[in-house]
């Protein structure tokens, strides 16, 4: 197979096909969509190929037969049956009250010019212009309209920090989408994409017939690349790249179904640069996510193997964004396991891959006013001191680290009340340098806080907050005793490596480390 052009940044299906770019054929899934239903909604993280999917649908309904030659759908589509396409993309800036309606009207005017329609100046609001153009496109062609909406939620996400403005944009969009339902006789197909899953009650009550396929196993791979895609379509790009490293760095996104997928942006930039790095993460810093974690006192340690109910995972509301929904829908956590208890469905969430796990923890520490270099150096120094069994110096280094954590959480007492936050900061340091770290590994009698495998040694760690009037030594004894009684170290004995039991005790008032004790297993 010959190498082709990498479609980096190309969201036009026509450009991709005419320029001879690599293309992973999604038309079998598209064919199922268009023949088995009419109204769909899909949520996926940023840069996952949603815009290209919409453009492919647009070209299909417009009858662009030449673009689909050689693809699975070509011989199963009536190319004489063409439909007008109304495509809206909310990719502007919506921080001012008038921005949203102004952008909608401007986009509709562009469609009017493209279709040779006179501007409908008498319809002076976004919803009226939408109703008007749907009617005129139908009457011009005699065919129902395919309606495609990209980044439907950006007008709300842009102002999520201003709940009043966010609610105003949400309410406007609810009426706008209601026009589509009210014009059902004019509409052949509707496909709406975005990052978040705002509930139907809050946003889509005006378009409540949308089928949400975000967690439908049949469409788990409708965006993104599978292992099979890499080994076949992109086979010419694989020589000299470690295939296992590609999986470790970038594979792992899972929306139920049998296969995990890669973010296309990561893979395409890896093939161009031939360098393993955080390609996707670096395109957008999740500041709002870090602020939400601080506000809700969520430790980074708590993000691994995090359990969430199905309803909470698919809820995203103005003024009530949960950490689980936020991190899952934005792509920083993915579904690791699904379990059912009676009528309830629960998901275990985890980082999708090394890129996200490493970058998110480094990003959090950087957000807490630590420089990226300082973060990496700190993690390396802490690991080196453990490997050297210099536990006193390890304790001093840890105290210096916590003393440098800034006011953002110093002024939030709830963050200093539980050992999980302190353990989480140490965890984040370790994660930034990619050491072998096990979090809350189960034994027959409980779960250890953290286990570090490093330097041919095993460090089983337990973190405790000193109780009021409790002596430091008593708190250390309590932590070491828990490791021994619950057998946290037993599963590591057959490694034949030295095992250290490490207890760390923290003080609520001082908001720092009191003492560390290390015992042999």
Write out pLDDT tens, residues 227-274.
Answer: 999 999 999 999 999 999 999 999 999 999 878 999 999 999 999 999
Mean pLDDT score, 72-95: 95
Please report the pLDDT score of residue 413 as a whole number. 56
Mean pLDDT of 122-147: 92
Q: Work out the mean pLDDT of the chain and round it to a whole number.
A: 90
Looking at per-residue pLDDT, the higher value among 406 and 357 belongs to 357
CATH number at residue 162: 3.40.50
Instruction: For residue 13, tell me if it sits in a domain.
Output: no
Measured CA to CA, the distance from residue 44 to residue 42 in angstroms comes to 7
Rounded average pLDDT over 425-441: 86
pLDDT given for residue 294 in this prediction: 81
Q: Are 386 and 394 in contact (CB under 8 A)?
A: yes
Specify the pLDDT at position 434.
Answer: 84
pLDDT of amino acid 393: 97
8 Å CB contact between 420 and 440: no
Question: Do 89 and 170 belong together in one domain?
Answer: yes
Token reading at 367: 């957000």
Same domain for 345 and 374: no
Q: Does 376 lie in the same domain as 342?
A: no
Which region among 92-96, 217-221, 356-360, 445-449 has the lowest average model confidence (pLDDT)?
A: 445-449
> Does the residue 102 lie in any domain?
yes
If asked whether residues 298 and 385 sit together in one domain, one would say: no
227 within a domain of the structure (yes/no): no
% the chain with pLDDT above 90? 62
Judgement on whether residues 298 and 149 belong to the same structural domain of the protein: no
| Residue 316 pLDDT | 72
Give the dihedral of Cα atoms 489, 491, 493, 497; nearest 10 deg: -80
Number of domains in the chain: 3
Which pLDDT band, with edges at 50, 70 and 90, does 199 fall under? low
pLDDT digits (tens, 9 = 90+) for 293-305: 888 878 888 898 8
Say whether pLDDT at 409 is over 60: no
Q: Which of 173, 199, 219 is the last residue of a domain?
A: 219
Are the beta carbons of 86 and 133 closer than 8 angstroms? yes
Mean predicted confidence (pLDDT) in 277-303: 87
Token output for 146: 């395919």
- pLDDT tens for 464-510 read 988 888 899 999 999 999 999 999 999 999 999 999 999 999 988 77
Shared domain for 378 and 318, answered yes or no, is: no
Same domain, 182 and 293: no
DSSP state of 467: P
For the chain, counts of helices (H) and of strands (E): 19, 15
Question: What pLDDT is stored for residue 120 in this prediction?
Answer: 77
Percent of the chain with pLDDT over 70: 93
Q: Give yes or no: residues 312 and 406 share one domain.
A: no
HEC letters along 343-410: CEEEEEEECCCHHHHHHHHHHHHHHCCCCHHHHHHHHHHHHHHHHCCCHHHHHHHHHHHHHCCCHHHH
Domain region containing 494: 369-520
197 shares a domain with 334:
no
- As a whole number, mean pLDDT of residues 420-442 equals 84
Q: Distance (Å, rounded) from C-alpha 22 to C-alpha 8?
A: 10
Closest to 54 measured CA to CA, from 28, 24, 85: 85
Of the candidate ranges 34-43, 303-312, 388-397, 459-468, the one whose mean pLDDT is the lowest: 303-312
Does residue 327 form part of some domain? yes
Q: Is 166 in a helix, a strand, or coil?
A: helix
Could you give the CA distance from residue 303 to residue 350 in angstroms, rounded to a whole number?
7
Mean pLDDT is lowest, of 102-116, 121-135, 143-157, for 121-135
In a domain, 272, yes or no: no
What per-residue confidence (pLDDT) applies to 406?
Answer: 60
- Determine, yes or no, domain membership for 61: yes
Most trustworthy range by pLDDT among 55-59, 206-210, 473-477: 55-59
Among 176, 200, 219, where does a domain finish? 219
The CATH number that applies at residue 441 is 3.40.1350
Same domain, 405 and 300: no
Please determine, for residue 201, whether its predicted confidence score (pLDDT) is greater than 60.
no
Note whether 148 and 191 are within 8 A (CB): yes
Q: Which residue has the higher pLDDT, 520 or 418?
A: 520
Is there a domain that residue 363 lies in?
Answer: no
Region 281-292: mean pLDDT is 87
pLDDT confidence of residue 414: 60
Would the pLDDT of 415 be above 70? no
Q: How far is CA 302 from the centre of its chain?
A: 16
Is there a domain that residue 355 lies in?
A: no
Assigned token pair, 91:
């990719």
Return the pLDDT at 312.
Answer: 67
What pLDDT was estimated at residue 445? 64
Q: How is residue 472 annotated by DSSP?
A: H
* Residues 78, 214 within the same domain: yes
Average pLDDT of the segment spanning 202-224: 84
Mean pLDDT of 220-231: 97
Looking at the fold, whether 379 and 479 belong to one and the same domain comes out as yes
């Amino acid at each position: 197979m010959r190498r082709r052009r990498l479609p980096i940044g190309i969201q036009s299906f026509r450009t991709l096909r005419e320029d001879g770019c690599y293309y992973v054929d999604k038309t079998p899934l598209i064919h199922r969509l268009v023949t088995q239903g009419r109204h769909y909604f899909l949520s996926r993280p940023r840069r996952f190929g949603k815009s290209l999917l919409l453009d492919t649908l647009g070209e299909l309904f417009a009858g662009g037969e030449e673009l689909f030659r050689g693809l699975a759908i070509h011989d199963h589509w009536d190319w004489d049956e063409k439909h007008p396409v109304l495509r809206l993309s909310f990719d502007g800036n919506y921080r001012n009250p008038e921005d949203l309606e102004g952008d909608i009207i401007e986009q509709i005017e562009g469609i009017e010019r493209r279709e040779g329609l006179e501007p409908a100046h008498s319809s002076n609001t976004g919803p009226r212009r939408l109703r008007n153009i749907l009617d005129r496109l139908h009457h011009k062609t005699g065919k129902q309209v395919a309606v495609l909406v990209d980044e439907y939620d950006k007008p709300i996400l842009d102002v999520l920090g201003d709940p009043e403005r966010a609610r105003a944009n949400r309410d406007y969009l609810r009426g706008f989408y209601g026009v589509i339902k009210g014009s059902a006789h004019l509409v052949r197909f509707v496909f709406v994409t975005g990052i978040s899953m705002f509930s139907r009650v809050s946003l889509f009550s005006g378009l409540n017939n949308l089928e949400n396929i975000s967690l439908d196993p049949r469409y788990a791979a409708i965006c993104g690349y599978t292992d099979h895609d890499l080994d076949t379509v992109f086979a010419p790009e694989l020589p000299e790249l470690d295939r296992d490293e590609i999986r470790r760095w970038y594979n792992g996104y899972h929306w139920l179904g049998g296969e995990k997928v890669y973010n296309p942006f990561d893979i395409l930039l890896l093939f161009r640069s031939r360098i393993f790095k955080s390609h996707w993460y670096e395109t957008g810093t999740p500041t709002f996510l870090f602020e939400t974690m601080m506000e809700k006192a969520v430790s980074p340690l708590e993000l691994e193997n995090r359990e969430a109910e199905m309803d909470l995972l698919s809820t995203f509301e103005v003024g009530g964004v949960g950490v689980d929904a936020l991190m899952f829908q934005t792509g920083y956590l993915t579904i690791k396991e699904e379990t059912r208890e009676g009528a309830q469905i629960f998901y275990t969430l985890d980082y999708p891959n090394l890129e996200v796990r490493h970058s998110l923890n480094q990003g959090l520490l950087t957000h807490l006013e630590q420089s990226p270099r300082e973060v990496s150096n700190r993690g390396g120094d802490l690991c080196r001191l453990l490997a050297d069994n210099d536990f006193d110096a390890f304790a001093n280094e840890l105290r210096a680290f916590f003393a440098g954590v800034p006011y953002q959480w110093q002024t939030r007492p709830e963050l200093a009340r539980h050992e999980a936050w302190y353990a989480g900061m140490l965890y984040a340091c370790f994660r930034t340098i990619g050491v072998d770290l096990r979090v809350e590994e189960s034994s027959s009698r409980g779960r250890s806080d953290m286990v570090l495998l490093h330097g041919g040694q095993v460090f089983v760690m337990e973190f405790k907050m000193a109780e009021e009037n409790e002596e430091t030594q008593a708190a250390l004894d309590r932590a070491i005793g828990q490791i021994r009684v619950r057998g946290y170290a037993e599963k590591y004995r057959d490694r034949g490596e030295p095992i250290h039991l490490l207890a760390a005790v923290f003080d609520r008032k001082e908001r720092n480390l009191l003492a560390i004790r290390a015992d042999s297993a």
